[in-house]
Amino acid sequence: MIDKIFFNFTRISALLILVIVAWIFTVLFNHSLEAMNTFGLDFITKDEWAPNLDKFGAYAAILGSIISTFLAMLLAIPIAIGVAIFLSEIAHDKIKGFFGVSVELLAAIPSVIYGMWGLFFFVPIIRNIFGGMGIGLLAAGIVLAIMILPFMAAVTRDAMNTTPDILKESAYALGGTQWDVIKDIIIPYAKAGIIGSLILALGRAIGETMAVTFVMGNVHHVPGSILDPTTSIPVTLANEFTEADSSLYFSSLFGLALTLLIMSFVVIAVAKFYFLRKARRA
């Protein structure tokens, strides 16, 4: 009797996850219907975002999300791989422990702190070097890169650590240098895991709100250069959700949320189910 009740409690809780996810998709879809019906494909291909005219085109926000994430990946990937190699192959055990734990702890620092730091300390530097306002795609890309770096380095290191010692030792026995072992043994062996980790970090970066809201500018305009202020999907949501005053405006914001959810769902699913699963099986 109690056995059955307990079993059902656990099962309902587990099924609740599926219900919540399905519910999130349904709610976002239903609320964005009005915008989809009004604008159709224009919603994602036009960049005119004019709440006073009831015109909403999300092109600039979508583009901003993609470019800022791309910039962040471009900057973070080489450094994260360097850090991962350092942590798994170069550092002595004592340094490894200290370095490794600090990298993991830094991954836990709230993103709002990275954003605040970016606004007060990094934006002025960009302003001094390149002129202009300082806020914009470049600042967002850099702050995002720094924020995602600890997570990326930690998961990439874990992927590299899966290489069996016996493979590495065999390569050393053949006279390979450390770099030979890294590039010919570890990277080919852990390739799927490394790619999966990087894409997983990408999925996190796309949906990141607070690190970029401070430094993006929230201007609905396709930027002429990476120094121009622009916007991204999370930045628009963070800035405008509490200001929306018409149902079409709300509906468009829900449309943005749905677009973001689908984008990150696909990216994360590819990372987890294609690459990381392949890595685990290998």
Site for other proteins in 54-73 (CB under 8 A): none
B/e letters for 29-66, b = 16+ CB within 10 Å, e = fewer, are eebbebbbebbeeebbeebebebeeeebbbbbbbbbbe
Q: Tell which positions 77-96 bind other proteins, by CB under 8 A.
A: 78-83, 85-87, 90-91
The number of residues that bind other proteins (CB under 8 A) is: 89
Q: Is 97 a binder of other proteins (CB under 8 A)? A: no
Give the binding range for other proteins (CB under 8 A) out of 129-137, 147-155, 158-166, 185-193. Answer: 147-155
Decide whether 184 or 225 has the Cβ nearer to other proteins.
Answer: 184
x-or-dash string of contact with other proteins, 227-246, rule CB under 8 A: -------x--xx--xx----
Among 135, 154, 260, 279, binds other proteins (CB under 8 A): 260
Give the binding range for other proteins (CB under 8 A) out of 35-43, 50-58, 128-136, 171-179. Answer: 171-179
Among 44, 182, 185, 279, binds other proteins (CB under 8 A): 182
Give the binding range for other proteins (CB under 8 A) out of 15-23, 39-47, 163-171, 220-228. Answer: 15-23
